[in-house]
Amino acid sequence: MLEDHAKIVSLLEQAGEVVGRKKLQKIIYILKKCDVPFQEKYHFHFFGPYSEELSLRIEELCNLGFINEVKETKGGYYQYRYTQTEAAKEFLSHFDIHMETIEPLIQELNNQNSKFLELVSTILYFDDLTREEIIEKVQVVKKKQNYSLDDIEEAFTFIASIKSMNTKVS
């Protein structure tokens, strides 16, 4: 019961703060691809892997008072900041979810900017293709973002580094 909600709250507990809806979406997708057991379904959208289920779950957690969402205006567009609330601690005490073991991984993801995480998650979305096919696909579906070959290489290196980190939730 609400275990999937609790995992999101627990993630925020470890992250401290996540700035941006897009960033939160991509962090959870990347964690899923690292076998962290998030259940939200993702599909490919205009801006990469996106989960409507996750968006709604975050909205539910905000309405329940377990996640704090602050809307900021940033140069003509909106950006949202997410933190765990005090009430969330009591909520989490009902679940046996421990994300402490993957805290370094969460921090590593949270330290990246959302454009880079968008690239990383897009590469992971096509991980059943060969490296060459992935590069070709990224350049097709992310034409507007104009990722350079260096950016793509950096993302591959980043993926290799996070895959070597602990991804087991105790």
Partner 1 sequence: MAQRMTKLNEEKVFKDPVHRYIHVRDRLIWELIGTSEFQRLRRIKQLGTSFLTFHGAEHSRFGHSLGVYEITRRLINVFEKDPEWDPNDRLLCLCAALLHDIGHGPFSHSFEKVFQTDHEHFTREMILGPTEINAVLRKISDDFPKKVSDVIGKTYENKLVVSMISSQIDADRMDYLLRDAYYTGVSYGHFDLERLWRVMRPREDQVVIKHSGMHAVEDYIMSRYQMYWQIYFHPVTRSAEVILTKILHRAKTLYHNGFKFKYVPTQLISLFDGQVTVEDYVKLDEALILYYFQVWQEEEDPILKDLCYRFMNRKLFKYIEFTPMDLSLYDELRDTFLEADLDPDYYLVVDSSSDCPYDLYRPGEEEEKLPIYLVMPDHQLRELSRESDVVDSITGRKRTDHKLYYPLDAIMALPSHSKAKKKLRSLLSI
C-alpha closest to that of 125 among 57, 21, 53, 50: 50
| Residue 141 burial by Cβ neighbours in a 10 Å radius (0-12, 13-18, 19+) | middle
Task: For the CB of residue 81, give the shortest distance to partner 1 in the complex, in Å.
Answer: 11
Please report whether residue 146 would count as binding partner 1 according to CB under 8 A.
no
Structure tokens at 101: 């073991």
CA–chain centroid gap for 14, Å, is 13
Task: For the CB of residue 109, give the shortest distance to partner 1 in the complex, in Å.
Answer: 17
9, 65 Cβ separation under 8 angstroms: no
**Cα–Cα distance for residue pair 156/63, rounded to 1 Å:** 37
103 vs 129, which CB is nearer to partner 1? 129
Touching partner 1, residues 49-108 (CB under 8 A) = 50, 52-53, 55-57, 59-60, 63-65, 77-80, 87, 91, 94
Residues that bind partner 1 (CB under 8 A): 1-2, 5, 20-22, 25, 41, 43-47, 50, 52-53, 55-57, 59-60, 63-65, 77-80, 87, 91, 94, 126, 137, 140-141, 143
